Amino acid sequence: MPIALALVLIAVGSTLFHTLSPWWWTPIASNWGYIDNTLIITFWITGTAFVAVVLFMAYCVYRFRHGGPEQPHYEPENKRLEWTLTIATAIGVAAMLAPGLFVWHQFVTVPDEATDVEIVARQWSWSFRLPGKDGRLGTSDVRNISAENPLGLNPRDPLGQDDVVIETGDLHLQIDKPVKILLRSTDVLHNFYVPEFRGKMDMVPGSVTYFWLTPTRTGTFDILCAELCGVGHPQMRGAVVVADEAAYQTWLGEQRTFAELSGMTKIMKANFMPAEK
């Protein structure tokens, strides 16, 4: 009896904790409410299965306890039970996978009007690149990475000359405007994650990964690295600021382009580097 009661309390307590718990997700700030809905569906399916199994265990412990009138019998096979469990399990797994596959398709199907924004990770900082007046990002190559060109932009690509490069500041996005997030890493595995956006994606050296989102709430949100990337991983923080169109355009006009930064670097070299003999 004590074991059966303990199992019942586990099932009831887990359900009440999930229902009444004050801990929940942060308020969403993007279009990815679908992800919340998918998680809730998964919780319902797995939670129902968990409660059913635990209560069944409690029933078996009490009903077939030692000293009862029933006599055990050997039953090596039960085709009906096996088919029932197989079909029920298949339906449960399909019910959990289907919403996830649907949302994943949306997650990587970028709308045509989305603006490209590049995020580059390195141990242990974030850098950002936004398109300039031409609305297009220039090409980049890891072979171009240097102290003067940390993002590896191609200096011979005219499309990249007006790209806005942000190395030490925050990423700014315009509310209600879809963006395609292009993700690169220059050293090890990282993961771009903003909890309020519900979007995250691994950043793989040598590859460009992506997803898209539409910011739906103004404010400042933390950027976290969700992939263990070394001793400085806990301190790899950044910020993304979602603003209205006027504030966003004002901020964008204050940023420097790749051409301007390259020109400043050349001037500094000419003024402060000793001349070669």
Residues 245, 144 within the same domain: yes
Of 214, 220, 218, which is closest to residue 199 (Cα–Cα)? 214
CB-count exposure of residue 255 (10 Å: 0-12, 13-18, 19+):
middle
Distance CA 60, CA 266 (A): 79
215 found inside a domain: yes
> Containing domain of residue 180, as a range?
115-272
Q: Could you give the 3-state DSSP secondary structure of residue 48?
A: helix
69 found inside a domain: no
Say which CATH number the domain at 240 has: 2.60.40.420
Tens of pLDDT along the chain (277 residues) come to 788 888 888 888 888 888 888 888 889 999 998 888 888 888 888 888 889 989 998 888 888 777 766 677 778 888 898 999 899 889 888 888 888 888 889 888 999 999 999 999 998 899 999 998 888 888 888 888 888 888 888 888 888 888 899 888 899 999 999 999 999 998 899 999 999 999 889 999 989 999 999 999 999 999 999 999 999 999 999 999 999 999 999 998 888 888 887 764 544 444 444 555 4
95 found inside a domain: yes
Residues 250, 131 within the same domain: yes
Which two tokens mark 174? 């315009």
Return the pLDDT at 270.
43
Q: How many CB atoms lie within 10 A of CB 182?
A: 19
104 found inside a domain: yes
Which two tokens mark 150? 């940390």
The per-residue DSSP string of 225-264 comes to: E-S--STTGGG-EEEEEEE-HHHHHHHHHTSPBHHHHHHH
* The length of the chain, given as a count of residues: 277
Strand partners, 210: 182
240 found inside a domain: yes
Return the pLDDT at 239.
94
DSSP state of 186: S
Only one residue has tokens 């309390």, namely 9
Using the 3D structure, point to which of 87, 108, 129 is the last residue of a domain.
108
Of 92, 242, 230, 68, which is closest to residue 170 (Cα–Cα)? 242
Q: How many domains are contained in the chain?
A: 2
Residues 19, 123 within the same domain: no
Instruction: Report phi then psi at 241, rounded to 5.
Output: -110, 120
Residues 265, 164 within the same domain: yes
122 found inside a domain: yes
Return the pLDDT at 269.
46
Residues 139, 266 within the same domain: yes
**pTM summary value:** 0.78
Residues 50, 143 within the same domain: no
Strands (E), the chain: 115-122, 125-130, 164-166, 171-174, 179-185, 190-194, 199-203, 209-213, 219-225, 237-243
Q: Could you give the 3-state DSSP secondary structure of residue 12?
A: helix
Return the pLDDT at 276.
53
Which two tokens mark 216? 């739906």
Residues 53, 167 within the same domain: no
Residues 206, 223 within the same domain: yes
Residues 174, 94 within the same domain: no
Return the pLDDT at 94.
87
Residues 53, 124 within the same domain: no
Using the 3D structure, point to which of 88, 108, 128 is the last residue of a domain.
108
Instruction: Report phi then psi at 273, rounded to 5.
Output: -85, 135
Q: What is the pLDDT of residues 114-164, one digit of tens each?
A: 999 999 999 889 999 999 888 888 888 888 888 888 888 888 888 888 889
212 found inside a domain: yes
Return the pLDDT at 148.
81
Which two tokens mark 77? 């096979």
Residues 175, 253 within the same domain: yes
The CA-atom distances, in angstroms, between 259 and each of 2, 119, 140, 151 are 75, 19, 14, 13
251 found inside a domain: yes
Residues 29, 135 within the same domain: no
CB-count exposure of residue 196 (10 Å: 0-12, 13-18, 19+):
buried
